[in-house]
Chain A
Amino acid sequence: MKLALVVVLIVGLAAVPKVVSPYYVTVLLPAIAYSIALLGFNLLFGYTGLLSFGHALFVAVGAYSAAVLSAKLGVKSFELVLLISAAVSVAAAVPVALLSVRYVRIFFGILTLAFGMLFHSFLFKFYDITGGDTGLRVLRPSLFGRDFAELDKTSFLVGPFYYYCLALLVVLGFVMWRIVHSPFGLHLMAAREQPRKAEYLGVRVRFVRFLAFLISAFYCAVGGVILAINTGQADPELAYWTHSGDLVFMTVLGGFASFFGPIVGAFSFVMLKGQLMGLTDYWRFFLGALLAVMVVAFPRGLVGVGQQIWTKARAR
């Protein structure tokens, strides 16, 4: 049942460029990027119980790595850009994680927030390296060695690049599915539930938290690379703490207790934000109000609401 739903959704997403205007497809690209990033983010939040308020840091590291690689070092291959950017992000995550996973709850949240703000001010102040407030340009990559020179920018993004990113989401989603259902995933959840008991059952609590943190940094960087290529720009706003807040927002909106919650949250958030921004300048107000209602009335997020409706419909 679940699998059938997933297949239908993938086919649906694959059909989107054939049905709607290119504008809407470029709106969906960030949703795919955030879905990938949040799969990683939620390994740490939903499964490990560590809520980071600084994970935009790793999205930004992905974006800036893509900028440096493509515009400064002339790396064209998307595969190389992805791998190197993700590796840079994991390397950056090592010291952050080593310090942060010693703490839980509010202390972990504040520490990650602090690291995120540090990185943002680095991007802002070191103009020569990072382009300061204007950020860095990101060039169009080649996919599997093909540079699609015959396509203009939009056709490239809504055509081959869109399908590439969708495939990435499917592959990385499958990998994450395996991770959370593996022995390692079970130990993450044990550490989340009751760390002291978990230790007595042989769970290396800090070590598995550390690894989950690195995996999340990998996924966030991949999301960041896609975001940057989509806009052609690595922007310091990507590292700003409100962007970290958006990651939390999307995950809670979709439902952090569910595997698919973050993906649902990413798509809902991106589309809702797009609609609201067209209607009013106060879109943040309405999004905030929505989140407040969700947390109070539907703590299991949109996926939880869907599950409730499904259970009721079946009971009839």
Chain B
Amino acid sequence: MTTLIETVDVRKAYGDFVALDGVTFSVAEDEVVSIVGPNGAGKSTLVNVLTGLLKPTAGLVRFKGEDIAGVGPVLLSRRGMARAFQLVHIFPALTVAETIAAAAISQTGRSLRFFSSVKADKELAARVGEVAAIFGLEGKLGTQAQFLSQGEKKLLDIASAFALKPEVILLDEPTSGVSSGDKHGIMTTLMEAAKRAGVKAIILVEHDMDLVAEYSSRIVALQGGKVLADRTPRDFFRDPEIVAAIVGKMPPRHACAA
């Protein structure tokens, strides 16, 4: 298995406060790695380090073998990593088509074309239609993002990330703010979309242990900025002490039975 992204002994400190303390982990091709942990465990910091937004105080962050410490989201998006946000990030006044097109334009390196028409670009329109269809947004192409339902906004946020044709996609609580009935639907859509879009690995930050148990191939648990466990879901949920440390209660029933 080829390693796509890895951190080696990453430390991130803000003055006296240590958010990440010697975090080493990696994600290889065909993996779905969940990052779990209680609030304040360092998940957000790790995500921001992984997406090049934060430069670690010490340690290495590599994506496809290249150092990406603090390179910033723009460069990283061009190298093949995309991110969807926990709190929905959309462009309120732009339409669904325009939002997806903005990403597709970056991906094809056309952002500095000053005089060509976005609307007249058939290749771009086809790409936009294709991505929208994966997420069931093909009927909403002309709708401004602010007029979408909450669930559709979430899907649009994720769809635009997929339009970058990423090799690795980082999903930060993709089902937060969605009713519990919908969350498996969204996860199924996501996993299929990832397969169809040629995504090689997924990093999932998730509180919902049902989803973590069902969709991860590996679980990395953080606590107090350190890696507490790095195991398969089976081994992870077998250890009641670790599960209790992460969720603060007993694991869900079906996970115990696994």
Q: Within residues 93 to 152 of chain B, which ones have a CB less than 8 A from any CB in chain A?
A: 93-94, 98-99, 101-103, 105-107, 110-119
A-side contacts of B105, CB under 8 Å: 183, 186-187, 202
The answer to whether A199 and B117 touch across the interface, beta carbons within 8 angstroms, is no
B-side contacts of A175, CB under 8 Å: 115
Among B77, B110, B118, contact of A200 (Cβ-Cβ < 8 Å):
B77
A-side contacts of B98, CB under 8 Å: 186, 189
- Is A287 close to B, CB under 8 A? no
Q: How far is the CA of A189 from the CA of B118 in the complex (A)?
A: 13
The answer to whether B102 and A190 touch across the interface, beta carbons within 8 angstroms, is yes
Q: Given A178-B115, A190-B91, does the pair A183, B74 have CB atoms closer than 8 Å?
A: no
Min distance, Cβ B222 to any Cβ of chain A, angstroms? 22
Contact with B along A164-193 (1 / 0, CB 8 A): 000000000001001101111111011001
A-side contacts of B90, CB under 8 Å: 193-194, 197
Q: Given A186-B101, A189-B91, A193-B94, does the pair A202, B164 have CB atoms closer than 8 Å?
A: yes
| Chain B residue at minimum C-beta to C-beta distance from A196 | B89
- Is A84 close to B, CB under 8 A? no
Q: How far is the CA of A200 from the CA of B106 in the complex (A)?
A: 10
Q: How far is the CA of A52 from the CA of B4 in the complex (A)?
A: 44
- Is A198 close to B, CB under 8 A? yes
The answer to whether B94 and A189 touch across the interface, beta carbons within 8 angstroms, is yes
The answer to whether B111 and A200 touch across the interface, beta carbons within 8 angstroms, is no
Q: How far is the CA of A200 from the CA of B80 in the complex (A)?
A: 11
| Chain B residue at minimum C-beta to C-beta distance from A199 | B73
The answer to whether B111 and A203 touch across the interface, beta carbons within 8 angstroms, is yes
Scoring A183, A204, A208 by chain B CB atoms within 10 A of each residue's CB, the highest score goes to: A183
A-side contacts of B99, CB under 8 Å: 190
Q: Given A194-B90, A197-B89, A202-B74, does the pair A187, B102 have CB atoms closer than 8 Å?
A: yes
Q: How far is the CA of A190 from the CA of B102 in the complex (A)?
A: 7
B-side contacts of A204, CB under 8 Å: 74, 111
| Chain A residue at minimum C-beta to C-beta distance from B82 | A200
The answer to whether A194 and B91 touch across the interface, beta carbons within 8 angstroms, is yes
The answer to whether B85 and A197 touch across the interface, beta carbons within 8 angstroms, is yes
A to B contact number (C-beta, < 8 Å): 102
- Is A149 close to B, CB under 8 A? no
Contact with A along B191-215 (1 / 0, CB 8 A): 0000000000000000000000000
A-side contacts of B106, CB under 8 Å: 187, 201-203
A-side contacts of B160, CB under 8 Å: 197, 201
- Is B72 close to A, CB under 8 A? yes
B-side contacts of A201, CB under 8 Å: 77, 102-103, 106, 160-161, 163-164
B-side contacts of A193, CB under 8 Å: 90-94
Min distance, Cβ B147 to any Cβ of chain A, angstroms? 14
The answer to whether A189 and B114 touch across the interface, beta carbons within 8 angstroms, is no
Q: How far is the CA of A182 from the CA of B99 in the complex (A)?
A: 14
Q: Determine chain B's interface SS by DSSP, over half rule.
A: loop
Min distance, Cβ B112 to any Cβ of chain A, angstroms? 6
The answer to whether B115 and A179 touch across the interface, beta carbons within 8 angstroms, is yes
Q: How far is the CA of A179 from the CA of B114 in the complex (A)?
A: 5
Q: How far is the CA of A285 from the CA of B73 in the complex (A)?
A: 48
The answer to whether B116 and A182 touch across the interface, beta carbons within 8 angstroms, is yes
B-side contacts of A181, CB under 8 Å: 117-119
| Chain A residue at minimum C-beta to C-beta distance from B113 | A183
Among B72, B83, B91, B116, contact of A183 (Cβ-Cβ < 8 Å):
B116
Q: Within residues 196 to 233 of chain A, which ones have a CB less than 8 A from any CB in chain B?
A: 196-205, 208
Q: How far is the CA of A181 from the CA of B124 in the complex (A)?
A: 14
Q: How far is the CA of A179 from the CA of B78 in the complex (A)?
A: 23
The answer to whether B83 and A184 touch across the interface, beta carbons within 8 angstroms, is no
Q: Within residues 151 to 202 of chain B, which ones have a CB less than 8 A from any CB in chain A?
A: 157, 160-161, 163-164
Q: How far is the CA of A208 from the CA of B117 in the complex (A)?
A: 17
Q: How far is the CA of A181 from the CA of B99 in the complex (A)?
A: 14
The answer to whether A182 and B77 touch across the interface, beta carbons within 8 angstroms, is no
A-side contacts of B51, CB under 8 Å: 200
The answer to whether A182 and B115 touch across the interface, beta carbons within 8 angstroms, is yes
B residues contacting A by CB (< 8 A) are 51, 72-74, 77-78, 82-83, 85, 89-94, 98-99, 101-103, 105-107, 110-119, 157, 160-161, 163-164
Can you spell out 30 A-B residue pairs with CB atoms less than 8 angstroms apart? A178-B117, A179-B115, A181-B118, A182-B113, A183-B113, A184-B113, A185-B118, A186-B98, A186-B118, A187-B102, A187-B111, A189-B93, A189-B94, A189-B98, A190-B99, A190-B102, A193-B90, A193-B93, A194-B89, A196-B89, A198-B91, A199-B72, A199-B74, A200-B82, A201-B102, A201-B160, A201-B163, A202-B74, A202-B105, A202-B107
Instruction: List the 4 closest pairs (A to B, CB-CB), nearest first.
Output: A202-B106, A193-B91, A197-B89, A202-B77
